[in-house]
Structure 1
Amino acid sequence: MDLGLADTSALVTASSSGLGKASATALAREGANVVLNGRDGERLAEAVEEVDAVGDGEVVGVQGDLTEKADIEHLVERTVEEFGGIDTLVTSAGGPPSGPFEETTDEDWYQAFDLLVMSAVRTVREAAPHLKESDQGTMTFVTSRSVKEAIDSLVLSNSVRMAVIGLEKTLSKELGPEIRSNAVLPGPHETSRIEELVEQAVERGEYENYEEGVEARGSGIPVGRIGDPMELGDAVAFLSSPKSSYINGVSLPIEGGAGASNL
């Protein structure tokens, strides 16, 4: 299916690895021009090279820290300079530290809010005027299934990410019809973070090898496995496309049926 994204312009934050990179890859594969973002310059350069190889559009890397307001302003400015505007915005950010409530400090809470919420707020604030000028402006927020069901030892993610869903739903009403806003709620996917955790478990003797560890992580999921990051990326590309033009204000779980929530 042609999603109608050829020659459009996309900005994907926190996209030098993981689900952000998968989202950027899916958009590039559909012919979009894409700006990638990350803090690590070397990793970002590698990601740009990999994403650039999958499509016909232009791929540019802009280094920056999403907790820094000036970096976000520069990121949006560079995207507009490179491509003349923005049609698609995808916000992603790394997860906050794990841990129970009683071991979580005030500083942890403020840092998580800055990383997960204010990064999205500031990026939207800068990008919205440009998205309004597009004839197919979209915003997709990559959050977590933890906004529907609390996950043990992830009090920061369980609590703070819900603010992003409130933002997404509000924007779907305030900025429509010029801009559509949706969110994706990923469950476990085979990202570098999962790979690292499984490899550590193998070293501790919990599994005989990596394959056994990955299989064990998918054992409680109805589809019988964890996700491929590109499956999340493909969903983001669809929500960013004219093919999803009547989908607005939706929070879409992408977790293989692992969730127990009815809604």
Structure 2
Amino acid sequence: MDLEIEGNTALVTASSSGLGKASAKALAREGANVVVNGRSEESLAEAVEEIERVATGEVVPVRADLTDPDDVEALVAATVEAFGGLDHLVTSAGGPPSGPFLDTDDEDWYAAYDLLVMSVVRLVHASAEHLAADGGGTLVTITSRSVKEAIPSLVLSNAVRMGVIGLEKTLSTELAPEVRCNAVLPGPHETRRIRELIEQGVERGEYDSYEEGLDARGASNPLGRIGDPMELGNTVAFLSSPLSGYINGVAVPIDGGLGDSNL
């Protein structure tokens, strides 16, 4: 299926690994020019090499820390300079530390808010004018299924990511009709983040081994498995394309049916 985004420009944050990288790969495969972002030059180089194997558009790495306002401004400016504009913004960020509420201090809360919410706020401020130009564009925020159902030992993700959804829904009306804004809510996928969470669970005694933790995460899913990151990336690419032109202001679970919420 041709998603009709060949020659478009996309910026995907936190895309040197995980679901961000999968989203960048899906967009690049469809012919979009993609800016890949991360904090490590080495990881960025590895990601670009991997994405270029399937890309039919150009792939450019830009190092930036999403918690640094100056870096965020420079990231968007570098994208516009490289390709002359910006059509699609995909926001992703690393997850905050796991742990229960009583083990979480004020510093943890402020850091999680800065990483998850303020990064999106700053990116949209810097990008909105570019996204609205030349016929309009799209914003897709990658959050978590935790905004639908709280996940044990992930109090920061459960609470703080709700702010991203409230922002996305508000922007879907304030930036319309030029810019469509949607969110995807990943369930467990085979990413470094999931490996870290399982390893932390082993350390806390929740699992006897990494393999047991991995099996436990897949066993409760109706599809009986952990997701492939490209399955989420493909959805992000679709939501960024004209083929999803009447989808706006929604939050789409990508979890294999794991959630029990009706909405």
1:219, 1:44 → 2: CA distance?
33
Deviation at 1:230, TM superposition (A): 0.3
For residues 49-88 of structure 1, the aligned pairs below 5 Å read 49-88=49-88
Deviation at 1:196, TM superposition (A): 4.7
Q: Which runs of 5 or more residues in structure 2 are unaligned?
A: none
Q: Which runs of 5 or more residues in structure 1 are unaligned?
A: none
2:143, 2:111 → 1: CA distance?
16
Partner of 2:153: 153
Deviation at 1:120, TM superposition (A): 0.2
Deviation at 1:206, TM superposition (A): 2.9
Deviation at 1:197, TM superposition (A): 5.1
Check conservation: 2:90, 2:141, Cα contact below 8 A: yes
For residues 207-246 of structure 1, the aligned pairs below 5 Å read 207=209, 210=211, 214-246=214-246
TM-score, structure 2 normalization:
0.95
Check conservation: 2:98, 2:197, Cα contact below 8 A: no
1:17, 1:202 → 2: CA distance?
23
Cα-to-partner distance string for 1:154-176 (whole Å, 9 max, x where unaligned): 11111100000000000000000
1:16, 1:156 → 2: CA distance?
23
**Range 31-40 or range 190-199, more displaced:** 190-199
Q: 1:199 to 1:166 in 2, by over 3 A?
A: closer
Cα-to-partner distance string for 1:192-231 (whole Å, 9 max, x where unaligned): 2334555788999835x85x65333210001111100000
Cα-to-partner distance string for 1:29-83 (whole Å, 9 max, x where unaligned): 1010000000111001110111122111110000010000000000000000001
Check conservation: 1:16, 1:47, Cα contact below 8 A: yes
TM-score, structure 1 normalization:
0.95
Check conservation: 1:99, 1:155, Cα contact below 8 A: yes
- Letter paired with 1:48: V
Check conservation: 1:29, 1:54, Cα contact below 8 A: yes
Check conservation: 2:141, 2:182, Cα contact below 8 A: yes
Check conservation: 1:136, 1:241, Cα contact below 8 A: no
Partner of 2:111: 111
Q: 1:42 to 1:228 in 2, by over 3 A?
A: same
Partner of 1:135: 135
- State, as a whole percentage, how many aligned pairs show the same letter: 69
> How many pairs were matched up?
261
2:105, 2:201 → 1: CA distance?
27
- Letter paired with 1:28: A
Check conservation: 1:17, 1:47, Cα contact below 8 A: yes
For residues 17-28 of structure 1, the aligned pairs below 5 Å read 17-28=17-28
